[in-house]
């Protein structure tokens, strides 16, 4: 840690990890309700548990992004944060909002659009927190060195805040409601979040591999160009069947098929950087998470997204377990792995130690990723069978679901593996061993950062 104010990142990461634990716990409960539907059916109905599962995910990922920004911006800008106090205030605001929302959900206090269930006061709190954040980070960047990484990161974070404003607009006409709802949901995860993802990965490649900044910058701009060129019009793949014009079937199919490109570019980028890199960085676990991130994002968001994005295919698969399969691996690969990568990289610096518990951390990676991959496979099979029985044969929804029981049991099993992986990860990151681990026998040619 070169700058004292980077320390605030640690608090963001702690809160992110706490919500991560909550998210997967509720995920496990939901997976269990699928196989034992009477479980908690009065106390915690499926819709309430799912709200907490998805909202906790979104908030902890955002906390991770904010933490990552507070960690890397001072280092990139070569200056202290404008105001660490404001950063803490922002975190308190977000945590009060998040815990208020969760407690409210348990008592059935919520709004009703998917993922945007936060009551209005929480939404306004999120906007206020975002404004504080943007003010703080923008001033930091302006007073220090400007780099491609901070440029792209800042643009992504501004985009997150701006497009969130559409969450406040809820027209009575359902088709209009859905058109603008996707402005938040799609343009976040398949647009501006990719900017955040690419810039954090670029920062990690710079630190972990020691490749020249010029090379990293070129990759970074090329990747984010691909992301927005395809992702903006790629929104069209959500405009097939909601009352929007038929031309979206062409535009959505073509551009969303191309959305694979930025994810593929990120795979090539990370692997080429590691291959070309001169540096033997001691934090092998962080490198594993970073490579795992680009690879699993390519499969989850890219390949699994492409699988059902063409309109003639989506006509049959839309809103089946195929979508669930894609959603799980895409979020895990692109954004969960990204956050766990930067947390794994930054925590030793924030604690002022050499990288620790690396083997445990790497075991956690394989357990979590193996679990998520298996979950994706089971849901994909469930979705394909569902598509055939329900959309082709016309059997009724619940009759079809009963025939999918085996897949849902296997999904629950994979969920258990994921939760164990998460617990292992939290232990590895939060509980440094007393003795410092020495980083093997390889000699380092370039000092690690």
Partner 1 sequence: MSEGLTASKARNIFYGGSLFFLVVFGALTVHSHFYAVNTSTNAEGLTDSVVHGKRIWEENSCINCHTLLGEGAYFAPELGNVWVRYGGRDDPEGAREAIKLWMQSQPSGIEGRRQMPQFNLTDEELDALADFFKWVSEIDTQNWPPNDAG
Site for partner 1 in 196-235 (CB under 8 A): 214, 217-219, 221-222, 224-225, 228-229, 232-233, 235
Residue 161 engages partner 1 in binding (rule: CB under 8 A): no
Contact between 256 and 234 (Cβ < 8 Å): yes
| Among the listed residues 14, 46, 264, 299, the single contact to partner 1 using CB under 8 A | 46
- According to the binding rule CB under 8 A, does residue 248 interact with partner 1? yes
User: With binding defined as CB under 8 A, does residue 112 bind partner 1?
Assistant: yes
Q: Which two tokens stand for residue 100?
A: 């208020």
Which helix (H) or strand (E) covers residue 343, if one does?
helix 337-350
In eight-state DSSP terms, residue 363 is H
Q: Distance (Å, rounded) from C-alpha 375 to C-alpha 407?
A: 9
Token pair for 281? 């960085």
> What are 364's two structure tokens?
């956690």
Beta strands, E only, 225-328 = none
Find the binder of partner 1 among 37, 88, 142, 366 (CB under 8 A): 37
Say whether residue 110 binds partner 1 (CB under 8 A): yes
Q: Min. distance of Cβ 124 from partner 1 in angstroms?
A: 18
Using CB under 8 A as the binding rule, the residues of this chain from 167 to 186 that contact partner 1 are 172-179
Let me know: does 118 contact 158? Beta carbons within 8 Å: no
Give long-range contacts, CB 8 A cutoff, 24+ apart: 161-165.
161/127, 161/130, 161/131, 161/133, 161/134, 163/187, 163/188, 163/191, 163/192, 164/126, 164/127, 164/130, 164/188, 165/127
Indicate whether 135 belongs to the interface with partner 1 (CB under 8 A).
Answer: no
Residue 189 C-beta: closest distance to partner 1, Å = 14
Select 108 or 442, whichever has its Cβ closest to partner 1.
Answer: 108
Q: Among residues 116 and 288, whose Cβ is nearest to partner 1?
A: 116
If one asks whether residue 318 binds partner 1 (CB under 8 A), the answer comes out as: yes
**Residue 284 interacts with partner 1 (CB under 8 A): yes or no:** no
- Shortest Å, Cβ 244 to partner 1: 5
Q: Where would I find the H helices in 351-404?
A: 358-386, 397-403
Shortest spacing between CB 103 and partner 1, in angstroms:
16
Using CB under 8 A, which of the segments 4-12, 70-78, 319-327, 433-441 binds partner 1? 319-327
| Near partner 1 by CB under 8 A: residue from 41, 103, 276, 449 | 41
* CB of 151 vs partner 1, minimal distance in Å: 8
Tell me how far, at minimum, the Cβ of 251 lies from partner 1, in Å.
7
Closer to partner 1 by Cβ: residue 50 or 279: 50
Of 159, 100, 91, give the one whose Cα is nearest residue 128: 91
- Note whether 123 binds partner 1 by CB under 8 A: no
* Span of 125-133, 248-256, 337-345, 357-365 interacting with partner 1 by CB under 8 A: 248-256
What the block records as the tokens of 187 is 């343009």
Burial of 70 (0-12, 13-18, 19+ CB in 10 A): buried
Query: Site residues for partner 1, window 330-359 (CB under 8 A)?
Result: none
Instruction: Using CB under 8 A, pick the residue from 11, 13, 20, 34 that binds partner 1.
Output: 34
Residue whose entry in the numeric block shows the structure tokens 């499926």: 46
Q: Cα separation of 40 and 239, whole Å?
A: 36
User: Based on CB atoms, which residue is closest to partner 1, 27 or 64?
Assistant: 27
Select the span of 29-37, 291-299, 339-347, 365-373 touching partner 1 (CB under 8 A).
Answer: 29-37
Name the residue with tokens 């099979």: 381
CB-based contacts of 86, cutoff 8 Å, min separation 6: 132, 135, 136
Q: Cβ closer to partner 1: 55 or 361?
A: 55
Does residue 28 touch partner 1 according to CB under 8 A?
no
Q: Is 243 in the site for partner 1 (CB under 8 A)?
A: yes
Per CB under 8 A, which of residues 250..269 are in contact with partner 1? 251
In this structure, what token pair is assigned to residue 169?
């607009």
DSSP summary character for residue 241: S
Nearer to partner 1, 46 or 264 (CB): 46
Neighbours of 363 (CB within 10 A): 16
Task: Write down the least CB distance from residue 436 to partner 1, Å.
Answer: 38
CA distance 380 to 307: 10
43 touching partner 1, by CB under 8 A: no
Nearer to partner 1, 109 or 359 (CB): 109
Segment 374 to 413, residues that bind partner 1, using CB under 8 A: 390-392, 394-398, 400-401
Candidates 15-23, 135-143, 244-252, 301-309 — which segment interacts with partner 1 by CB under 8 A? 244-252
Q: Which of 335, 333, 392 is nearest to 368 (CA)?
A: 333
- Using CA atoms, how far apart are residues 322 and 77, in angstroms rounded to an integer? 43
């Amino acid at each position: 840690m070169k700058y004292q104010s980077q320390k605030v990142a640690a608090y963001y990461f702690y809160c992110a990890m706490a919500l991560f634990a909550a998210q997967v716990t509720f995920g496990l409960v939901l997976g269990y309700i699928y196989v034992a539907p009477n479980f908690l059916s009065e106390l915690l109905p499926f819709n309430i548990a799912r709200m907490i599962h998805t909202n906790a995910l979104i908030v902890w990922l955002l906390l991770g992004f904010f933490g990552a920004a507070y960690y890397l911006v001072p280092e990139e800008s070569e200056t202290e944060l404008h105001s660490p106090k404001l950063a803490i205030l922002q975190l308190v605001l977000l945590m009060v909002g998040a815990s208020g929302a969760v407690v409210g959900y348990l008592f059935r206090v919520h709004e009703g659009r998917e993922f945007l269930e936060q009551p209005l006061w929480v939404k306004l709190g999120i906007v206020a927190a975002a404004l504080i954040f943007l003010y703080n980070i923008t001033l930091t960047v302006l007073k220090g060195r400007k780099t491609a990484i901070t440029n792209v990161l800042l643009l992504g974070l501004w985009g997150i805040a701006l497009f969130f404003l559409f969450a406040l607009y809820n027209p009575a006409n359902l088709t209009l409601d859905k058109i603008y709802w996707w402005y938040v949901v799609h343009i976040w995860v398949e647009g501006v979040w990719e900017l955040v993802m690419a810039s954090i990965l670029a920062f990690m490649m710079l630190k972990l591999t020691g490749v020249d900044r010029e090379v990293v910058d070129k990759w970074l701009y090329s990747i984010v160009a691909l992301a927005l060129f395809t992702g903006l019009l790629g929104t069209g793949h959500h405009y097939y069947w909601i009352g929007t014009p038929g031309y979206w079937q062409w535009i959505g199919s073509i551009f969303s098929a191309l959305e694979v490109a930025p994810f593929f570019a990120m795979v090539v980028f990370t692997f080429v950087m590691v291959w070309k890199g001169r540096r033997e960085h001691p934090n092998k676990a962080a490198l594993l998470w970073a490579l795992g991130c680009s690879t699993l994002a390519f499969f989850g968001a890219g390949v699994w997204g492409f699988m059902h994005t063409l309109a003639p295919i989506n006509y049959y698969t839309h809103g089946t377990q195929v979508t669930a399969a894609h959603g799980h691996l895409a979020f895990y690969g692109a954004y969960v792995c990204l956050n766990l990568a930067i947390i794994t990289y930054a925590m030793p610096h924030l604690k002022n130690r050499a990288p620790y518990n690396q083997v445990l951390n790497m075991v956690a990676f394989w357990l979590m990723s193996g679990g998520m991959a298996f979950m994706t496979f089971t849901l994909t099979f469930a979705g394909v069978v569902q598509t055939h029985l329900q959309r082709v044969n016309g059997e009724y929804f619940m009759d079809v679901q009963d025939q999918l029981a085996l897949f849902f049991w296997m999904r629950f099993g994979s969920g258990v593996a994921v939760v164990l992986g998460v617990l292992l990860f939290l232990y590895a990151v939060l509980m440094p061993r007393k003795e410092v681990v020495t980083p093997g026998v390889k000699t380092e040619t370039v000092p690690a950062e």
